[in-house]
Amino acid sequence: MFPSDAKLAAHAKVGKEFKGFVDNQGKWNGKFADAMEKMALFGSGGDDGKGLIECTGALPRATNAKREMRGMPLFARRH
């Protein structure tokens, strides 16, 4: 279990919903599909049909390290 999972499970507002996914693959699949459908709408207004739009350039300069991490090999991204 990730520390973030433990905090979500203990949270007063989202804990019950979060715990509802335990041993309930159908609920997880449905909620996941709904979330992916909503995310697909972000930037889908373009004529190219590509869906999401690269927007990291809109981030403040203080996040350069995060942008540089995108170019690293997957397993080099350790904290």
Which residue from 54, 57, 36 is spatially nearest to 46, judged by alpha carbons? 54
Query: What's the one-letter identity of residue 9?
Result: A
State which residues form the domain around 12. 3-76
pLDDT, tens digit, for every residue of 8-59? Answer: 899 999 999 989 988 999 998 999 888 888 877 765 555 555 656 666 677 6
Averaged pLDDT for residues 72-79: 56
Structure tokens at 21: 């996914």
Alpha-carbon Rg for the chain, nearest whole angstrom, is 17
Domain count, the chain: 1
**Which pTM does this prediction carry?**
0.45
pLDDT at res. 2: 86
Residue 11, pLDDT score: 93
pLDDT tens string 34-48: 888 887 776 555 555
